Structure 1
Amino acid sequence: MDTVDSAVHRSQTSGMGPSSQAERRGTPASHGTGEPTYGIQQDISLPEFEIKETEGSTPTYTLQSLEREVMKLRQQVNKETLPTERGVPFDEHIMEEELPTHFRAPAHLSVYDGSADPSEHICKFENAAVLHRYADKIKCCVFLTTLTGSAQHWFDQLPAGSIRSFAEFSSLFLHQFASSRKYKKSAIILFGVKQDERETLRTYVQRFHTAVLEIPAPHQEVLISAFTQGLRGGPLFDSLAKRPAVDFLDVLVRTEKVHELGGCPINNKEWER
């Protein structure tokens, strides 16, 4: 007597066609074409990418749809990683300017990285530009070659076509690096320069003159007053006390006179000579 399982098995296999039975047995079926198919459908039309998800089932993907998705991802990555073309901050008039036939770049032009005084860098460049007689548009291009480090990075971030002249370029440059500017000292520091007890008059004058160079356009009255207050008693001090100097050059002339006399007092006759 057949068991229930055997009956079910016969019922399932009896409804299969030749190809179904062949697929189950692992042998090829021909589907009427004379060629074995091995249970694989020969004519496959890959649909557009779709994700079909129903209750109780998992999403299915076709090979073609997966390839399309990989291609999209590659294109997106390439678009994000490729460098974008940088627009030059100079306007078209500067870019169209041709270099003169006699053009020569300065051999020892200093570079600027954002840490030094921007005013000093501009001043040095202007001197070189005068020497080589650069036109305004050429100055823009040559000045660009002096930028490095953070200064070069700053220039690269400027909007395209935003610079139309060297005046605009230098103004933006000075404003950007204003924090690195070295401000001039006040004339009040001159009153702190004192002649030491054993310091010669000539050495004191040289030291005072060095301090004066750090002051922007000091008044003559301030120079005379500060120099006299720092001076020790002696022939020069007595001369300045009796007859105030006209300007600081007058002070220097009297200093030389004291040296010529070997430190002796200066009387009216000796001064007139």
Structure 2
Amino acid sequence: MAIHSRNKALICKVFPSSLRPVAVRWFDGLEECSIRSFEELIRAFGVRFVTCSRVPRPLDSLLSMVMREGETLKTYFDRYWETFNEIDGDFEDVDTRTFKVELPTKHDLRKSLTMKPARSMHQFMDCIDEHKWVEEDQTQGKGWAKAFPKKKDHQSGSYNQNQPRRDFIN
């Protein structure tokens, strides 16, 4: 529509093709000749669909975040950055500190960030990524151990995953 921004009548004709089904139903339900200009159409659309507009979140919504019990680092990281990106302003110096503080005190990433604080956003993101990979690897390892439990060697009475069970060998 930016191409035809000078031709208001054309914009009014093209506008419906940019709408999704709910907005099309609203547009089709407008009374004939109830909108006299594109500016009125914009206002009416804004009033009807104001919930779709982005409202910046306050900084305290970030400060009150906590890593939930049983939550993975990846899930917490995604939730944290989604909230961080919804805050207006430049708070890069705050993000590394609040992220670390909201981790459980025994979390390896918190220990790592305490012992060697990140000097840049890039370094901070790299550190988080490394810990996410380790956590995912450990989770996959636990899943593998559950899928392939150790088998008991009935002759020796011990558990050994790598040796075949001897009670089935002739």
TM-score by length of 2: 0.51
User: Equivalences for 1:195-234 in 2 at 5 Å?
Assistant: 195-216=67-88, 219-233=91-105, 234=107
Whichever residue aligns with residue 250 of structure 1, its letter is Q
Which is helix-richer, 1 or 2? 2
Do the aligned partners of residues 148 and 136 (structure 1) sit closer, same or farther apart at CA in structure 2, a change above 3 Å counting?
Answer: farther
Structure 1's unaligned 5+ residue stretches are 1-128, 264-273
Task: Give the length in aligned residue pairs.
Answer: 126
Aligned to 1:157: 34
Amino acid at match of 1:157: S
Contact 2:73 2:135 (8 Å CA) reproduced: no
Q: Find the counterpart in structure 2 of residue 143 from structure 1.
A: 15
Candidates 86, 92, 112, aligned match of 1:239: 112
Query: Within 1, Cα distance between the matches of 2:91 and 2:79?
Result: 18
The two structures have a TM-score, normalised by structure 1, of 0.35
C-alpha separation between the residues in 2 aligned to 1:222 and 1:216? 13
Output aligned runs, 1:75-154, within 5 Å: 129=1, 133-137=3-7, 138-143=10-15, 146=19, 148-149=25-26, 152-153=30-31
The answer on whether the counterparts of 1:195 and 1:230 sit within 8 Å (CA) in structure 2 is yes
Superposition deviation, residue 189 in structure 1:
1.2
Q: 1:250 aligns with which of 115, 119, 123?
A: 123
Q: Which has the larger radius of gyration?
A: 1
**Identity of counterpart residues, as a percentage?**
18
Contact 1:220-1:247 within 8 A present in 2 as well: no
CA spacing shift, 1:184–1:260, aligned 2, 3 Å: closer
- Give the partner amino acid of 2:34: Q
Q: Secondary structure at the residue paired with 1:244? A: coil
What is the Cα-based RMSD across aligned positions, in Å? Answer: 3.7
With over 3 angstroms needed to count, the CA separation of the structure-2 counterparts of 1:228 and 1:156, relative to structure 1, is farther
CA, structure 1 residues 176+210, in 2 after alignment: closer, same or farther (shift >3 Å)? closer
In structure 2, give the amino acid aligned to 1:172: R
- How many Å separate the matches in 2 of 1:170 and 1:220? 39
- C-alpha distance in 2 between matches for 1:259 and 1:183: 30
Structure 1 residues 262 and 214: alpha-carbon distance in aligned structure 2, compared to 1, 3 A threshold: closer
Query: Do 1:187 and 1:218's aligned partners in 2 also have CA atoms closer than 8 Å?
Result: no
